[in-house]
Amino acid sequence: MKKTRYFLLLFVIMIIFVNYSSPNASENTLRNNSSNIQQSVNFIDSVIRESNCNIVDYGIKIKFLTCDNSKIIYDALKNVLNIGKSDITSIINNNICDCLQFKNKNIQGCIECIKQNNMYKTSIEIIKHVPMSNTHIQSVSANTVKHISGEDLITLKNNVISTLNVNEKYYLDFNWYIRAKQINRDCDVECINNNICRILRQVGALNIKSLKLYNGYSTTAYTKMFRREKIDNHCIDINLAVCNYNSGIYLIIGVPEIFVSY
C-alpha cells in the first residue's frame, strides 16, 4: 500500500510536469500518451529511489507579460495559494521593477515584475512543502497524496493563469523542480552523482555533464522527455544536483533547469 501511494505521488507529479512544461504543448514536449508518461515516471522514480531520498518540497516557476504589478497579482492569488497579508515578508518598489515575497509553514514564493514598455515581465515562483515521515521513502501518507492531487500542481498553474487572466500570447515559460532529502547521512555525494549519471546513460540521455560544486555536484542532460533549452549550444532538458549541507544530503531535480538557489 505504501509503495502504491508513493508511486501515485510521482505519477501525479510527472503527469503535471509533462503536460505543463512548455507554453506550446506541441513543441519540445513529451507527447501526452501513457507509454511516454510511464517512461518519465520510471525515470524520476529510479533517480529518487536509487538515491534513497524522501521528497520534501516541490515548486513551479511561471513567466508571462501583464499590465499588473506584484501587489495586484498577490491580491488576486491569495485564495488560489491560500495566503494572506500576514504572509508577506518583503516588498520592493522602484522605477524599474517591483518584487513581493511571501512565506508561511506550507508555502513560500516570490512575485517579480520588471517594467517593459507598457507592461510587466512577470515571474512567479511557488514552492510547497510536503509533510512526510522521515523513516523511509515509501512512507508517503494518504493525506499527502490527496493534498498534491487535490489542490497543488495539477491545478496550480492553470489556476494562476486563469485567475490573472493571462492571454496565451503573453505566456512565456514554465519550469518545475523537486527537492528530496537523502535518508542515509553517511552516503557519499560523489557516489550518488555517479549513480545518477548511470541512470541517465541507461535511458539514453545525451550531453551528460557534471560540474563539481563546493558541496556536491550539478549534472545536466538531454533525456528527450521534457521541454528542452540550449546552453553553450548543447540541448538540455533536466538538471540534477546533489548537495551536502549540515542538515543532510539533498537531491534537487529541475526541468529544464533548477530555478532555486542550492
CATH number of the domain at 125, please: 3.30.70
Q: What gap in Å lies between CA 70 and CA 182, rounded to an integer?
A: 36
More confident residue, 146 or 181: 181
Average pLDDT over residues 54-60: 84
Q: What is the mean pLDDT of residues 73-78?
A: 90
Where does a domain end: 176, 191, 213? Answer: 176
The residue ranking higher by pLDDT, 27 or 59, is 59
- State if pTM tops 0.75: yes
Say if CB 70 and CB 94 are below 8 A apart: no
Indicate whether 114 belongs to any domain: yes
| pLDDT tens-digit map of 154-166 | 456 777 778 887 7
Is 15 contained in some domain?
no
Domain that holds residue 249: 32-52+183-257
Domain stop point among 122, 155, 176? 176
Segment 72-91 shows an average pLDDT of 89
Same domain membership, residue 252 and residue 170: no
What is the C-alpha to C-alpha distance for residues 124 and 119, in angstroms, rounded to an integer? Answer: 15
| Mean pLDDT across the chain | 78
Least confident of 15-29, 109-123, 191-205: 15-29
Lowest mean pLDDT among 14-23, 37-46, 63-72, 121-130: 14-23
Question: What is the pLDDT at residue 208?
Answer: 96
Mean pLDDT of 230-258: 92
Task: Look at residue 10 in the predicted model and tell me its pLDDT.
Answer: 62
- pLDDT of 141 reads 35
Any domain includes 107: yes
Give me the mean pLDDT over the 170-189 stretch: 82
Kindly state whether residues 171 and 100 are assigned to the same domain. Answer: yes
pLDDT at 190 over 90: yes
The yes-or-no verdict on residue 17 having pLDDT over 60 is: no
* Residues 242 and 193: beta-carbon distance below 8 Å: yes
Sheet holding 119-129, edge to edge: 88-93, 97-103, 107-116, 119-129, 53-66, 171-182, 248-255, 238-245, 216-222, 206-213
In a domain? residue 196: yes
76 falls within a domain: yes
Question: Is residue 4 assigned to a domain?
Answer: no
- Does residue 96 form part of some domain? yes
Tell whether 110 and 169 lie within a shared domain.
yes
Is residue 19 predicted with pLDDT exceeding 60? no
Number of structural domains (the chain) is 2
Q: Which three cell numbers stand for residue 138?
A: 515509501
Q: Is residue 158 domain-shared with residue 224, that is, in the same domain?
A: no
Of the listed ranges 66-70, 142-146, 177-181, the one predicted with least confidence: 142-146
